[in-house]
Each structure stands twice: as C-alpha cells, then as structure tokens.
Amino acid sequence: MTGQGTTQVTIQVNGDRHQCACQTQLPQLLEQLGMNPRLVAVEYNGEILHRQFWQTTEIQEGDRLEIVTIVGGGSG
C-alpha cells in the first residue's frame, strides 16, 4: 500500500501537533477540540479567518491554527 487513502492529517493548533480526519471542516475541528465555535477567533495559516468562511474551510495537512477564546466583559 502506498500513502493513498490516508484518513488523518497532522496540523498545528496553538503550537501543538494535532491529528484530525481528512475533510474535517473548521467548525467540526473546534468542536472536537472542546471549544465553542461562537466564543473563539481563529488565525488560519497566519491570517485571521472571518467566521463567514469557516463552513467552507477544510483542514489540510500541515495547516497552522491559532485559536483564541474571546472573553466577554467590560472595563469600568
């Protein structure tokens, strides 16, 4: 067997190696990581990825994600 049909890709999430299934979309990945997609911001391969593109963003081998939890609250 050659490498065809690989079902896992290796990515970096906040600097740590992580594996996920091929063809995983970004919202699915966030849920797998235990994060609430409504409460995070995502930098995808060095670019802030706007939420409108999340459903169409498919995780690829070697992707680098920085995921930041948004904390609500005010000053004052």
pLDDT computed for residue 71 by the predictor? 80
Q: Say what the pTM is.
A: 0.81
The DSSP 8-state label assigned to residue 74 in this structure reads: -
**pLDDT by 10s per residue, the chain, length 76:** 345 556 999 999 999 999 999 999 999 999 999 999 899 999 999 999 999 999 999 999 999 999 999 887 666 6
> What DSSP string describes 22-68?
TT-BHHHHHHHTT--GGGEEEEETTEE--GGGGGG-B--TT-EEEEE
